[in-house]
Homo-oligomer: A and B are copies of this chain.
Amino acid sequence: MIQVSYQGEPGAFSEEAATSFFGTRARLKPREQFKDVFSFATAGSGRLGIVPIENSVHGSVHEIYDLLMEHNLFITGEITLRIHHHLMTFPGAKLNDIRFVYSHPQALGQCAAFLRKFGKVKTVAYYDTAGAAKMIREERRKDAAAIASTQAARTYKLKVVRRNIETNHHNYTRFIALSRRSAPPLKVGKTSLVFAAQNIPGALFKALAVFALRDINLLKIESRPLLGKPWEYLFYLDISGSVREEKVRAALNHLGEVSTFLRVFGSYPTGTTIQG
C-alpha cells in the first residue's frame, strides 16, 4: 500500500490530482503546508507526495522550487488538472433561498460574470474552496451556496446546481509527483533541472547553446534572482528527452561546465490533462 501526501482539505484540487495520478490504491494523507508534504515523502519508502508546480493563471509556485532544493526528492511524474468551478448547495436547499455564496476570493473573481447574472446574492470570501463546501455541510446552511470542485461536492455531499461557471475556461494546474526514488528509466519523456549562471551578458545564451546545439527542445524556462547574490540567477528548465538518452546526458555534462550550479530533479513521462 503506497501513501500519498497532498496539501489542503479533503476535496481540494490536490486530492483530485493525487487520485487521478496514483489511482485508488493510494492511501491519501492531507497535510496543512507544502513543506509537510515534502517531509512526508522524505521520511520513508512507500511514501510519496503530489504538489502543484504551475497554474496557467497564477504562474509558477516558487515555494515548491525552494522545497525541491531543500529536499533530496525526485520528480517522478506529472499530471495537469483543468480547473472547473461549480455552484453547490446543501441537498434540499432552494435556489430562491440562496442569499450568500462562499468561496476563495480567486474563485469568486473567476466566476464574477456568472454571479452578476445569478441574482441578488452576497459573496463571502473564504480561505479555501473545499473549506467553503465543508462549512455548508457542517452548518447545514440552506441560505448559502459554495463555489468549489466536483471533488468537494462529492466529499461533502453537496448538490451541484450550476456547472462550469468560471469566465476563463483556460485554467489549468500542473502537479508533480515526488519520491525518494527516481522514476523507472525511460527513453522518452521530459527532464526537469535547475542551474545557476552569472548575470553577465550572454551567460544564459551560452548555457542554452548546450541544448540548441544538440536539437534538444526547451519546454519551460524561468529565471529567478538568487537571494543574497544580486548578480547570480537560478534558471528552472524543462527539456524534452530523458537522461537515458546519450545526447541529453552530453548536454547536461556540457551545462555543468558553463554553469556555477546544476541539479537534475529527474526524467519522467510527459503527463496527461484531466478535467477537474
- Chain A residues at the B interface, C-beta cutoff of 8 Å: 32-33, 55-63, 66, 104-105, 109, 112, 125-128, 131, 170, 199-202, 204-205, 208-209, 211-212, 215-223, 225, 227-228, 235
Which residue among A56, A127, A216 has the maximum number of chain B CB atoms within 10 Å of its CB? A127
Which of B105, B200, B225 sits near A127, CB closer than 8 Å? B105
Cα(A63)–Cα(B167), bound, Å? 13
Across-interface contacts of A228 in B (CB, < 8 A): 170
Cα(A183)–Cα(B104), bound, Å? 36
> What copy number does this chain have within its complex?
2
The chain B residue with its CB closest to the CB of A126 is B127
Given A33-B109, A104-B127, A205-B205, residue A59 in contact with residue B59 (CB < 8 A) = yes
The chain B residue with its CB closest to the CB of A127 is B125
The chain B residue with its CB closest to the CB of A228 is B170
Q: Name the distance in Å between A147's Cβ and chain B's nearest Cβ.
A: 13
Which of B56, B215, B219 sits near A202, CB closer than 8 Å? B215
Which of B66, B126, B205, B215 sits near A201, CB closer than 8 Å? B215
- 6 inter-chain pairs at a CB distance below 8 angstroms, sorted by A residue, are A58-B61, A60-B222, A105-B127, A170-B227, A218-B223, A222-B222
Given contact pairs A57-B66, A60-B60, a sample of 15 additional A-B residue pairs in the complex whose CB atoms are under 8 Å apart: A32-B109, A33-B109, A56-B62, A58-B63, A125-B127, A125-B128, A199-B219, A201-B211, A201-B215, A201-B217, A201-B218, A204-B218, A205-B205, A205-B209, A222-B222
Q: Name the distance in Å between A190's Cβ and chain B's nearest Cβ.
A: 13
Across-interface contacts of A131 in B (CB, < 8 A): 125
Given A33-B109, A200-B217, residue A208 in contact with residue B208 (CB < 8 A) = yes
The chain B residue with its CB closest to the CB of A53 is B59
Q: Name the distance in Å between A218's Cβ and chain B's nearest Cβ.
A: 6
Cα(A222)–Cα(B201), bound, Å? 17
Given A127-B104, A222-B221, residue A62 in contact with residue B62 (CB < 8 A) = no
Q: Are the C-beta atoms of A204 and B223 separated by less than 8 Å?
A: no
Cα(A202)–Cα(B55), bound, Å? 26
The chain B residue with its CB closest to the CB of A65 is B59
Q: Are the C-beta atoms of A221 and B223 separated by less than 8 Å?
A: yes
Across-interface contacts of A215 in B (CB, < 8 A): 201-202
Cα(A6)–Cα(B225), bound, Å? 26
Q: Name the distance in Å between A203's Cβ and chain B's nearest Cβ.
A: 9
Cα(A218)–Cα(B112), bound, Å? 38
Given A127-B105, A131-B125, residue A212 in contact with residue B221 (CB < 8 A) = no
